[in-house]
Structure 1
Amino acid sequence: METLAVFSLASQRASWLSARETTIASNVANANTPGYNAQDVTPFSSVLSHLQLPMARTAPGHIQPDALAGSKSRVKPSESWDVVYSGNSVNLEQEMLKAGEVGSAHALDVAVVRSFHQMLMNSVKA
């Protein structure tokens, strides 16, 4: 059976979230290390943009993919809030906000996969 795109995408995003959580934990662990620079992983949206999945126009009433070209938004790279005298750029408040974002994103992924799984199970039962 072919892997469904929703499950594959959720798995890839879960792996990315795991890598980001590990990076955040490393930043927090090195919060007092002189000269340590805070790190972050590449945003998941840019990981997806490298896949370049083409949109399919399956009906004449669908919007042309070229019409959506101007609707792309750009994300500014995040900057460290401050650098202390020792040269350490880790800000614990900023790292905790990132950790909260990772937790929320993971909960969303789990909810989407659970809903999709439930939908598949209901279609098999019917």
Structure 2
Amino acid sequence: MNLAEIPLFAMLRDRLGHLSERQRVIAQNVANAETAGYVAQDVKPFAVQAQLHGARGAPTLMAATQAGHMHPKSERRLSTVAVKAVAAPGSETTLNGNAVVLEEEMMKMSEARMNYDAAIGFYQKSMNILRTAARAPSR
């Protein structure tokens, strides 16, 4: 079985992609901290509910009524997250129109890094659970 077909791993992959993009956008903000007229950007927060539901608000998977039910391949969804940067001006704007506050950007970067580390840890623990489940019982 492909790990991308397991909803938990697909969501974790989407989350990691979102956090990577957020780190890229924040680094771009820091790089433009002295650029006249530059407005800081950020990405929209990762919405778990948006991952569980399709674009029309309907669930993307049929409801499993018993623990042993598996979804057909036609209904398993792969990564469809589109991360888009939006303007997020800082709390201050300089005389030249720059709206990047380095302290705020460093806090955002720190938060994104902690969330990324947590998602990687969760991914690793989930992989360990799968490995344990797939291992032959010891005698």
The alignment's TM-score, normalised by the length of structure 1, stands at 0.75
Report the secondary structure of 2:23's partner residue. Answer: helix
What does residue 14 of structure 2 align with?
12
What does residue 73 of structure 1 align with?
none
Report the secondary structure of 1:40's partner residue. Answer: strand
The answer on 1:117 being equivalent to 2:127 is yes
In structure 2, runs of 5+ residues without a counterpart are 67-87
What does residue 98 of structure 2 align with?
88
1:53 CA drift (Å) = 6.0
Map 1:1-126 → 2, pairs under 5 A: 1-2=1-2, 3-45=5-47, 48=50, 51=54, 52=57, 54=59, 56=63, 58=65, 80-125=90-135, 126=137
RMSD: 2.6
More helix by share: 1
In structure 1, runs of 5+ residues without a counterpart are 60-77
- 1:21-75 deviation digits (Å, cap 9, x = unpaired): 110000000001111000111211178266346394848xxxxxxxxxxxxxxxx
Equivalent pair of 2:12/2:123 in contact (CA under 8 Å) = yes
2:113 partner letter: G
1:14 CA drift (Å) = 1.0
Count matched residues.
109
Report the secondary structure of 2:47's partner residue. Answer: helix
More strand by share: 2
